[in-house]
Amino acid sequence: MTCYDRRDVGLLLLRLGTGGVLAAHGAQKLFGWFGGHGLEGTGQFMESVGYAPGKASATAAGLAEAGGGVLLAMGLATPAAGAAAAGAMAGASAVHMPNGFFAQEGGYEHAASLGLAAAGLAITGPGRLSLDHAMGHVLDRGWMVPTALGVTAAATAVVVGLRNKRLRAQKEGEQGALFEEFEE
């Protein structure tokens, strides 16, 4: 009989898959790897979808995805790693929300799935096949779960709220310019 059960193996697989995808996604933003655009290109995109300043937004999103993904895959600091990745994916979901649900149509399906998996891992924990377990869970205490998720939810709400405010102001400015042009 081993000291690991199928739950531990399942959590390991979920951590490796979710963490690996998040790490690669973040590396696209930070370094331009895997067909990504790096900080410059991602920063320009972030600015175009309302996240300003763009380069700082790209850096924050890239670090949350890459850092959170690597930590999730290793099962280290799981509450903070899962919360950071979930927050980044909530921000990505906000961008894709107007396109509907399915990723095929530019929707938020993929970002939401990654974010929910990351949040689920933050809550459930990494299992016994993890660095958190090997280190006696010093970075995976019960109080860290609501703290990490709460802080991330608050920060994400502020960032997405400011983005939405910028987009509304931009839209109103464009409508005002069209109205002025029409009056002339």
Instruction: Output the pLDDT for position 172.
Output: 86
pLDDT exceeds cutoff 50 at 95: yes
Q: Are 145 and 104 in contact (CB under 8 A)?
A: no
How far is 177 from 49, CA to CA, in rounded Å?
20
Concatenating the DSSP letter of every residue in 98-155 gives GG-S-GGGT-SHHHHHHHHHHHHHHHH---SSSHHHHTTTTT--TTHHHHHHHHHHHH
Q: What is the pTM of this model?
A: 0.90
Mean pLDDT over 14-35 rounds to: 98
% of the chain residues with pLDDT over 70: 93
Distances (CA, A) of 15 to 10, 142, 148: 9, 19, 18
Instruction: Output the pLDDT for position 138.
Output: 96
Residue ranges per structural domain of the chain: 6-183
pLDDT exceeds cutoff 70 at 34: yes
Instruction: Output the pLDDT for position 1.
Output: 43
pLDDT single digits (tens) 103-142: 999 999 999 999 999 999 999 999 999 999 999 999 999 9
Q: Are 66 and 30 in contact (CB under 8 A)?
A: yes
pLDDT exceeds cutoff 50 at 80: yes
pLDDT exceeds cutoff 60 at 179: no
Instruction: Output the pLDDT for position 4.
Output: 75
